[in-house]
Chain A
């Protein structure tokens, strides 16, 4: 097991930042940590990294308590760009490589590998000040992966970057994971979490609300499904026909579109279409809304992720 968190709690005076959270992470997983601002994500990560003291509970990384040797196996990508602006990009990666104990040819090779991996090798001699936002983010990652960590903790690494750079960063994370790195990833962007994470944990008000795969969370949380039908005419008649079908919870009309909310476990779409066709009501389009993590999050916390 890479990470074993047992019942950890952290209080700041009366404020409970993290309350009795337990979480396990297996090798080669990508854990997506979700939660609105102030949910306790950063405190949770800081406790794993040893930056914040734990009030109660235990954290084991690689089945041991955090120490210098364990720290060599961890990489950390902070939310803000944390590099020395006085040094060029290459020297920055060298600097962090040395801090993790790399020396000589191994250091040079690792720096080259990390910079090539993040696509910065060609511009390694430039100052980070001259880099674009996306390049700075990639340099931030290069500094964290230069020592080839087994566990990589990334705190919102895509904040404020353009879509192209974001895709680039997500691809980098996937590649790292494929090469055997276990990743803890926090983000405000649900679609990112859904795209890359094998496991999701949702934290709110310092508590772990739910954990599992993206699909298992959606299945567990979302009990309803939505179907939108765009009709040519006879909207009122269609309402009468659909209303009595088994599983339908409610109906709403917006222009020429009828939105049908049904119980998730009852498959009634074929019956709905059959009834409308028999009544000579023309269907222009059918839109089945897929359950999203965003909806699950909303359902669980009563708020959106950016609240």
Chain B
């Protein structure tokens, strides 16, 4: 196992490999997290012309969601410009007499303003609407009795009905972000494996390969140890990066972690076999580097690692269906959506068989140790 452990040492001593291993998948994921709107706080402007106990209750309810909503009182003349200039995401105007109309069971509504065409503030709108629908129901039941109305409101607000305060975006957006982070992870895995496998070519270029052939170690053992070292390095990368994303950046992989590790290993094997076939047929490391660059990015793009696969035209989607990156992303998405690993067996078999075919082709070339 001398070559195996020496290879691991050689791979991790190369700073570029560490960038491929950690920086690319983690950094790009962090950029996505920061750039996504899921964790953003909405700025909401309000004008309370009614100024009653009810409107005070309503504003307190909104303030209570301070992790997602920031309330700012505003003047009516400033509202339009503030919205246009993105100083606020939306605004609410409660007209005078609103509370009285509600208590009397009459039709009353709060004015809600936002920039047309954007649905980013839809959750706020729904939240406000939900509150006032309840208020109206209580108003109708109170039959114009203000005392009864507020007593009911108190009970409603402190009632036994507990509403879970979920972040806007919910679970589906979380899955999307996790899928995208897996795409970036696939990029790091692919780049590291392509880079690592060039060790075989480097050994040939530096005559270390010829020298090893003169030692008691057989060439068969040399190649097997190389492949095992690449698999071991990929396993280290998979576990470390997924743990960093999970524990460090709240990518929730609980329940799917082991499935993801296994799937990623299948994909890593595919990357290794591509790297080895390139290294076996290329004459120089510089050729490999150029070829890897030409191959990696289109594979990642067409496989849906860098953006949702469905965003691409159907022609490109059809090409993508033949790529290991697509098979991996499909399987990973299934697992992240809560489906079992057995639902991904076709993708796993495709990854495995394509790897075997590529390795067979790679070693079909005659080995000339004296070359």
Contact = CB atoms under 8 A, between A and B. Distances in A.
Contact of A78 (B207, B216, B217): B207
Contact of B215 (A69, A71, A85): A71
Contacts, number: 66
Nearest to B370: A51
A272 interface: no
Contact of A52 (B6, B9, B370): B370
Nearest to A49: B214
Contacts of B210: 51, 78, 82
Nearest to A48: B214
B6 A84 contact: yes
Interface residues of A, number: 28
Contacts of B3: 99
A76 B370 contact: no
Contacts of B215: 71, 96, 99-100
B262 interface: no
Contact of B6 (A74, A81, A95, A143): A95
Contact of B214 (A76, A84, A87): A76
Given A51-B213, A51-B214, A84-B10, A99 B208 contact: no
Given A86-B14, A91-B9, A71 B216 contact: yes
Interface in B2-20: 2-3, 6, 9-10, 13-14
Interface in A88-139: 91, 95-96, 98-101
B43 to A, nearest CB: 53
Contacts of A51: 210, 213-214, 369-370
Contacts of B208: 82-84
Contacts of A80: 206-207
B217 A99 contact: yes
Contacts of B9: 86-87, 91
A69 B370 CA distance: 20
Given A78-B211, A82-B206, A83-B206, A68 B10 contact: no
Contacts of B213: 49-51
Interface size bracket, B side = 20 to 34
A212 B89 CA distance: 96
B214 A74 contact: yes
Contact of B2 (A72, A82, A99, A143): A99
A50 B216 contact: no
Contact of A101 (B14, B212, B216, B369): B216
A85 B206 contact: yes
A76 B216 contact: no
Interface string B1-41: 01100100110011000000000000000000000000000
A87 B206 CA distance: 13
A76 B14 contact: no
Nearest to A74: B214
B223 to A, nearest CB: 15
A4 B275 CA distance: 42
B370 A46 contact: yes
B207 A87 contact: no
A50 B214 contact: yes
A50 B218 CA distance: 11
B14 to A, nearest CB: 6
A157 to B, nearest CB: 13
Nearest to A66: B214
Nearest to A80: B207
A56 to B, nearest CB: 18
Given A95-B6, A98-B2, A86 B214 contact: no
Given A74-B214, A96-B215, A143-B211, 12 more contacts: A46-B370, A51-B369, A52-B370, A76-B211, A81-B206, A82-B207, A82-B208, A84-B10, A84-B208, A85-B206, A98-B2, A100-B216
Interface of B: 2-3, 6, 9-10, 13-14, 203, 206-208, 210-218, 369-370
